[in-house]
Amino acid sequence: MAGYRGHLAGASAFFAVYLAGLIYVFSIDAAYRQFTLVELIAFPLALFGLCLMFGLWPDVDTNSIGQNIFYTIFFLVDVVLIATRHFEEAAYLGLFAILPILGKHRGWTHSWWAMFLIPSPLLILPYIFYPERPLAGLPFYGAAVVGYLSHLFMDGLVLSLKRRRSR
């Protein structure tokens, strides 16, 4: 079981592989030419930040650095929603924000289905709001899933390597 530094290191390593894959895919038909220099720098940084955040996300169900980060973000977003009179959205955010706390540590937040489901708004919302670019959220969803996978890997939930006992 890794601490938050281990999870950040794991997410960084997994992200390096993910970014190398994205660079390869975008270089095949020179698709990178559609981006400005600022976008070529900002998108990988945003993807890296997202990967790091989702590398910490599964531990939001226990007192941790990840929990502190995410609940600070939830609080700030909720304050903005209330200040802008989006009460229904603020209520839904509050409802969904308490769900991890209701489970036990290493419960549903450390599952395979959560790894694909929790980041799904990153894939679905761009599809809904920008139908002319249906796959716009795919790199962001991929970065989140890679970060999540790194957490499960670092906690030993991806490969169950059995240690040999010395006799």
Task: Spell out the domain ranges in the chain.
Answer: 4-154
Instruction: Read off the pLDDT of residues 71-109 as tens digits, 9 standing for 90 and up.
Output: 999 999 999 999 999 999 999 999 999 988 887 778 889
Q: Is the CB of residue 10 less than 8 Å from the CB of residue 157?
A: no
pLDDT at 121: 93
Is the per-residue pLDDT at 34 higher than 60? Answer: yes
d(CA 142, CA 137): 9
